[in-house]
Amino acid sequence: MNCRHCKTQLRHTFMDLGFAPPSNAYLNHDDLNRPELYYPLRIRVCDKCWLVQTEDFTSAEELFTADYAYFSSTSKSWIKHAERYSKKMISEFGLDHKSFVIEIASNDGYLLKNFLAAQIPCLGIEPADGAADAAEKLGVPVLREFFGEKAGKKLANEGKKADLIAGNNVYAHVPDINDFTKGLKALLKSDGTITLEFPHLLRLIEEAQFDTIYHEHFSYLSLYTVHRIFSAAGLRIWDVEELNTHGGSLRVYGCHDDDPRRTKQPVDKILQEERNYGLQELRVYLKFQPLADKMKDSLVSFLIEQKRNGKIVVAYGAAAKGNTILNYAGVKPDLLPFVCDASKEKQGKFMPGSHLPIVSPERLWETNPDYVLILPWNIASEVKEQLRDLAQKEDTFLTTVPDLLT
């Protein structure tokens, strides 16, 4: 396989998680008697542009089906994040009723509804029907398509170029990152701004967040690599911010390469930080797998120890990253009887691979567990706050990162 960005032949493996079902392929009761599709989950790194990427095996369409169960609006902290983002963009770029905002992967309209409320014309691009329906109910116009150069050019030809293109949490999910970036270039007004948010590869490596690796994430991105991909498409990153979302993300601000805006200091600062850490050296990538294996071993021995001691451990949060760790560690309901999730769409279903039943958080109070393992550790503080009165002792709640990284 060649690098998805620079086409160099890929020779190095960053992480091999064996085989796993797609992490969003939640199962119904009837599915439990049927065979389940497992795909290789192997992550490669390019030693030329340092793009960390999944090995090819299947088409995106196969993974993102209409019953894709994730709705952005079920996470309160993500909704707040979207509100803050919208306010900031409106004031920073002076957006008003004459502006045009496009969000790629607009999900259920959780973000664009803020622009709608400020009477700023907007358009969401979203291929998943369930999410697009929900957004349209809020009054958000949606184009049901996968985004790429073709869609970008088509909209541009219809006179729908944007002042602001938002891609919060989509860039890492795109199979053809060059084509997607060319689409951004085509769709952007001459003085427009692109903002993209994606988990920062530096944080993933530093904090051994290997459970953020799953099939739907095609790329694991550093600022250095995104900078290269933007340049190749005739775009430039002129600012960057560090965010706490998803365990540590970057929000990059892009413009056309001939835009008069000067590149701000944080861009150089983060590029330097990445270089100092060694993100352009192979050794850093080759150290990752042993660390992830250690964490997997810690999780399994913790669960076995609790079971032997007659303690009850249950899980909270049926998130994709939970599926990665559960499947990699081979955890089944004998060690973790269920996982609670506030999303009604997921309740009654089963986690792919591990077959943990997904139940309502109310079950926690009936069960009175000794430990609650919060699988989406990135929203652990929000979950702890919601479940405050359940905790009988200080260590009731734990997360794989960092609690089990010992």
- Site residues, Zn ion (CB under 5 A): 3, 5-6, 8, 46, 48-49, 51
CB of 5 to Zn ion, least distance (A): 5
Q: How far apart (Å, rounded) are the C-alpha atoms in residues 181 and 193?
A: 13
CB of 208 to Zn ion, least distance (A): 24
Task: Quickly tell me which residue has 């270039």 as its tokens.
Answer: 185
Q: Between 280 and 347, whose beta carbon lies closer to Zn ion?
A: 280
Q: Between 8 and 301, whose beta carbon lies closer to Zn ion?
A: 8
Alpha helices in 249-287 (DSSP H): 265-277, 282-286
Q: How far apart (Å, rounded) are the C-alpha atoms in residues 64 and 24?
A: 8
Q: Between 51 and 69, whose beta carbon lies closer to Zn ion?
A: 51
Q: Between 6 and 312, whose beta carbon lies closer to Zn ion?
A: 6
Q: Between 219 and 306, whose beta carbon lies closer to Zn ion?
A: 219
Residue 170, both tokens:
């989509």
Q: Between 50 and 100, whose beta carbon lies closer to Zn ion?
A: 50
Residue 25, both tokens:
């392929």
Task: Measure CA of the first residue to CA of the last residue in the chain; give whole Å.
Answer: 35
CB of 9 to Zn ion, least distance (A): 9
Please name which of 351, 353, 357 lies closest in space to residue 337, comparing C-alpha atoms: 357
CB of 8 to Zn ion, least distance (A): 5
- Which residues does 258 contact at the CB level (< 8 Å), separation at least 6? none
CB of 47 to Zn ion, least distance (A): 8
CB of 46 to Zn ion, least distance (A): 3
Q: Parallel, antiparallel, or unpaired: how do β-strands 52-54 and 39-45 relate?
A: antiparallel
Say if residues 327 and 349 touch (Cβ distance below 8 Å).
no
Q: Between 3 and 250, whose beta carbon lies closer to Zn ion?
A: 3
**Three-point CA angle 15, 175, 282, nearest 5°:** 35
CB of 233 to Zn ion, least distance (A): 15
316 CB-contact burial (10 Å; exposed 0-12 / middle 13-18 / buried 19+): buried
Longest dimension (CA), the chain: 66
DSSP 373: E
